[in-house]
Amino acid sequence: MITRGCSSVAGVLFMMVIAGLLLEVSPARAQDKNKPVTGKIPNKVMDALKAKFPNSRIDKWSKEKGANIVVYDIEFKQEGRKFEADIKEDGNIHNWEKAVEFKDLPPAVLKAVDTKYPKDSVKEIMEVTAVKNGKDELEGYEMVLECADKKEVEVTVAPDGKILEDSGEKK
């Protein structure tokens, strides 16, 4: 009986030590999880992102090199909404996108997509805004559609309903 009591006291103490360790480790893990994923993003790029999107939380980013240009493609959330921004190495924003809902699309865009892909379902919609001479200019809506055959098609439609790009179009 005494042995049983000692082992249960030892068991309780052991559990308290483990619980204490978990409480110590959990906040550290939570901090790491919530820490921005900035890695080696140049200061000019980060400054441009924070100036345009002050409450952004970076999810992931990639560096893309083109002909004489380096662009950082940054995916982030701001106020619970998904965003993406392409920012040049010199800190100039090339364009940015934000997630929008189907109900928020202009009638001309809805009609164009429904005419071209009447049986397909919309999986994702991003409103694309180009930055030209420092001013935002709505370029169109980039959509990912799921076709009846379960293949995905990407379509970009201008605000007036003109299809600008279509990955499902036969060439």
- Write out pLDDT tens, residues 39-70: 689 999 999 999 999 999 999 999 999 888 99
pLDDT at 106: 97
**What is the bridge-based pairing of β-strands 81-88 and 57-66?**
unpaired
Take residue 118 and report the two structure tokens written for it.
């009447």
State the pTM of this model. Answer: 0.73
pLDDT tens digits for 78-134? 999 999 999 999 999 999 999 999 999 999 999 999 999 988 999 999 999 999 998
Q: What are 71's strand-pairing partners?
A: 64, 88
- Cβ density class 80-119: b for 16+ within 10 Å, e for less: eeebbbbbbeebebebbbbebeeeebeeebbebbeebbee
* Sign of the C-alpha dihedral computed for residues 133, 135, 140 and 144 taken in this order: positive
Q: 1-47: per-residue pLDDT in tens?
A: 333 344 443 333 333 333 333 333 333 333 344 444 556 899 999 99
* CB contact set of 80 (below 8 Å; sequence gap of 6+): none
pLDDT score recorded for residue 168: 78
* Three-state DSSP state, 76: strand
